[in-house]
Structure 1
């Protein structure tokens, strides 16, 4: 028997992207009568709801849910609760899916060892700056071994971007933690692995994501990733992967190494040599990507890589201060306001 699938899309003020997103899910190769699309809207104030209402007129499989808590994880959980399907796929309003996206997710979950399935997310943008940001987010130098950004072969991983789960299993492990503004999928997939199941990444599952188009939004996005990653680690007593700690170590090196270099010529030489090596790698990867695209991308790439690393690292440090040292809710509330 073919399995039924619910695609849950948390969104808020996505008038520029929601139609293409939903259209891609309405055009799947998987039997349409087995798919429902649940859009958990965080009470959008732009034309998002009007656009969804127009889509619903001709597509009864699409439903809009009022997410009065606003946040992404609360929207995800609302969709999971309303779903009655065998499989739940979490998708993003800022993205669109390949025609075989649902079919390949269903096939991947036929393996009983797999608790979560996902695929490779191609990152794009329309502007030169946005394209540079997208390319940096798909480069190992930018995102380490986050394989869902660029992998070309099937493997077991620690997390995926748009995860698919058997609904009963998802409910049994507790669904999404609504405390987390960011990294809620990482934290959930941590629990998937603790339950004894595996997370499968397969390039056959394809989707495309529109990246942030300016440096300020990119900085805020990765700062929040770093900040909330600390809360995930605190909950589970260990990081899911060593890559999550590398930006922290890099920023600590910049700060502590800079201070120590004032008092020692040897430390100063090592400090500036390491920074020079980083800048050389930045240049090499920026040029390598620019050479395939256009040299106009080079300055934006050169700036994007440090933003990815430093913003995440600073967010991580402030997360440690907030969650471990002060055990304060103040920074947490500020971050929730920013995320909206």
Structure 2
């Protein structure tokens, strides 16, 4: 079985679309479970998620990384995949993850690329840059740009590695450096998910990238910026 973990916070505008895409997969529904870990939303996120997910509960650990960790600890699958509540998953997403892990017996972590759900040249350019960075980092074996919206783990290896750090940003970048000590970390360019550009549209692309880089440079926590639990229009 594959367990899919989705952290949420005030996502009533997006969670149904995300979960419906996960319920339209090419593999039988009993082959995977959907776990929603909510940051105590003030809107209808949990109410909307419950009919479409196998488990919905409030997170106990801090921040997005902590929510993912809570989901992993509740998971029944040998493989755990993570995505975000504002993403849309292709119909073969679960099938492709399963096939990659079956084909590579030494696989500890798998990750893919992203494309913008919203149109516009700037959005496509921004994610083209992110995807290029992911490819270059992987092939040069330097930085594994493993976005939490499109990654999967061998559950036992993930727990052994210490799971995600509970920080504001960069948790999905740092985890691969520990995972690679336990097995292969692999990029599958055909594993693609639709990624919401709402942060960049509301707060600005350059500002959002700067804030993320600043927080990462500070070790994942910075009092100047709050990168998680943002309120979107």
- Superposition TM-score, scaled by structure 1 size: 0.59
The change in CA–CA distance for 1:198 and 1:159 in structure 2 (over 3 A counts) is farther
Bigger relative contact order (CA 8 A; separation at least 6): 2
Tell me what 2:156 maps to.
Answer: 168
Q: Structure 2 matches for 1:166-315, cutoff 5 A?
A: 166-178=154-166, 180-193=167-180, 195=181, 197-212=183-198, 214=201, 216-232=203-219
The change in CA–CA distance for 1:155 and 1:5 in structure 2 (over 3 A counts) is farther
- TM-superposition CA deviations, 1:44-66 (whole Å, max 9, x none): 1122122113x24xxxx521120
Structure exhibiting the larger radius of gyration computed from Cα positions: 1
Is the contact between residue 116 and residue 192 of structure 1 (CA under 8 Å) also seen in structure 2? yes
More displaced, 91-100 or 155-164? Answer: 155-164
Following TM superposition, by how much is the alpha carbon of 1:96 offset from its aligned partner in structure 2, in angstroms?
1.0
Q: Structure 2 matches for 1:297-336, cutoff 5 A?
A: 332-336=222-226
The change in CA–CA distance for 1:69 and 1:224 in structure 2 (over 3 A counts) is farther
Is the contact between residue 71 and residue 181 of structure 1 (CA under 8 Å) also seen in structure 2? yes
The change in CA–CA distance for 1:83 and 1:219 in structure 2 (over 3 A counts) is same
1:76 aligns with 2:68: yes
Tell me what 2:228 maps to.
Answer: 339
1:10 aligns with 2:7: yes
1:107 aligns with 2:99: yes
Is the contact between residue 155 and residue 200 of structure 1 (CA under 8 Å) also seen in structure 2? no
Counterpart CA distance in 2 for 1:219 and 1:70 is 27
Higher-helix-fraction structure? 1
Size of the aligned set, in residue pairs, is: 222
Higher-strand-fraction structure? 2
Structure 1: 5+ residue runs without aligned partners?
A: 233-318, 320-330
- Superposition TM-score, scaled by structure 2 size: 0.84
Counterpart CA distance in 1 for 2:126 and 2:106 is 30
Structure 2: 5+ residue runs without aligned partners?
A: none
Counterpart CA distance in 2 for 1:159 and 1:37 is 24
1:147 aligns with 2:138: no
More displaced, 168-177 or 62-71? Answer: 62-71
Is the contact between residue 107 and residue 154 of structure 2 (CA under 8 Å) also seen in structure 1? no
Counterpart CA distance in 2 for 1:191 and 1:100 is 28
